[in-house]
A = this chain, B = another copy of it.
Amino acid sequence: MINFDFVSPTKIYFGKDRENEIGNIISSFGFSRVLLVYGMSSIKRSGLYQRVVDKLDKSKITHFEVSGVRANPEISLSRLGIEICRMNNIELVLAIGGGSVIDTAKSIACGVFYDGDTFDFNLHKALPTKALPVGVILTISASGSELSNSCVMMDDKTGIKQGFNHDLNKPLFAVCNPELTYSVDKYQTGCGIVDIISHSLERYFCPSNELEFADSIALAIIKDMVKVGPICINDPTNYDARAVMMLDSSYSHNGLTGLGKSFRFPIHAMEHILSAFDIKIAHGAGLSVLIPGWIKFTYKYDIDKFVRFFKEVFDINVADKEECVKIGIQSLKNFFKSIGMPITLSELNLHESDIPNLVNLMTLDGTRLIGQGTIKTLDKEEITLLLKDLL
């Protein structure tokens, strides 16, 4: 186990109707000037927006707004938000939504005290030294951004989509009411399931000793998701299933499942290229195609770890290790199919002719390797083979 610092300071207000306490929660931290960040019209249609605004008004909290955040969130909206914060002495950025909205809020919060452009953080040209606190009212379980140190944004001009990780990105609080996710449709729920699994799975498959605290927690969360995911899809108002999925989303990506391990996100790194290449591709759908492909390509470099994975997650008890992994990969594909997720590039409307472009983007024209520090580093040729196998 390697040395590490870890803190997960976010206070969670979990459960039914908790968003109705938002005024009191913000007041309890001593803030009275807030920037709301949200997406399209869904929180207005559902009535959530009006409820939140009413509570803020009741607690005499002045609020400004940035709205229209989309999937693959645009850095230009962050720039707008930063201006509003500076002009109005904003004390807290309140995200109402899921990953894209929360990441936009983080991008704004870090940019307010920075003289340069806030996308510099994503380009790893600068590190934030101070940020406004971010609060969250979570409406979809997927990204884990409500507790994570991660902020992924897209430069709408260049098409570059990139994330940066920093402790200042960890929200001050998150209001997590599973009922707010009842309206997430089957497809988006499926995408969320895959994303949550991926956050723990990619940490699990980073090299570790046989004894590793994080690996057990990662497997527990993945097993839970395999159990509750289909319930969330087929019985979307099942409170307990939505509640487990919500907590799994938070704890899959707050660092707990990777404690004491050095990790990279090779599958996420490849996927961000897919969904930037075609913004119609949902992040979870891209992951669903890539995860089994990545496993097939890498399992032989640490087969025992994959055998443990498939034994614990899918209860596969086959003595022959190769056979166990083969059955395991098929079980994983079947699981993704069962929750309505794609397992081929064709299903994402990507074709053989796209592969050279995709590989160039993934490897920065062959100058970058994927997955260094994981069980298998992938170069341009290997990624090409991996993708071709997924057509």
Contacts and interface: CB of A to CB of B under 8 A. Distances in A.
Interface of A: 1-16, 18, 178, 209-213, 216-217, 219-221, 223-224, 227-228, 231, 239-241, 243-244, 247-248, 251, 256, 259-260
B5 A13 contact: yes
- The quantity of this chain's copies bound in the complex is 2
A243 B11 contact: no
A240 B209 contact: yes
B224 A1 contact: no
A6 B1 contact: no
Contact of A7 (B1, B9, B18, B239): B9
Given A15-B1, A259-B247, A241 B211 contact: yes
A247 B260 contact: yes
Given A12-B7, A14-B3, A260-B14, A228 B211 contact: yes
B12 A5 contact: yes
Given A12-B5, A12-B6, A213 B224 contact: yes
Contacts of A11: 5-7
Contacts of A9: 7, 9
A228 B211 CA distance: 8
Q: Which 6 A/B pairs are nearest by Cβ-Cβ distance?
A: A3-B15, A7-B11, A220-B220, A213-B247, A216-B220, A211-B240
B243 A213 contact: yes
Given A6-B12, A251-B256, 16 more contacts: A1-B15, A1-B243, A3-B14, A4-B14, A5-B11, A14-B259, A209-B240, A211-B231, A212-B240, A213-B244, A213-B248, A216-B220, A216-B221, A216-B224, A217-B217, A217-B251
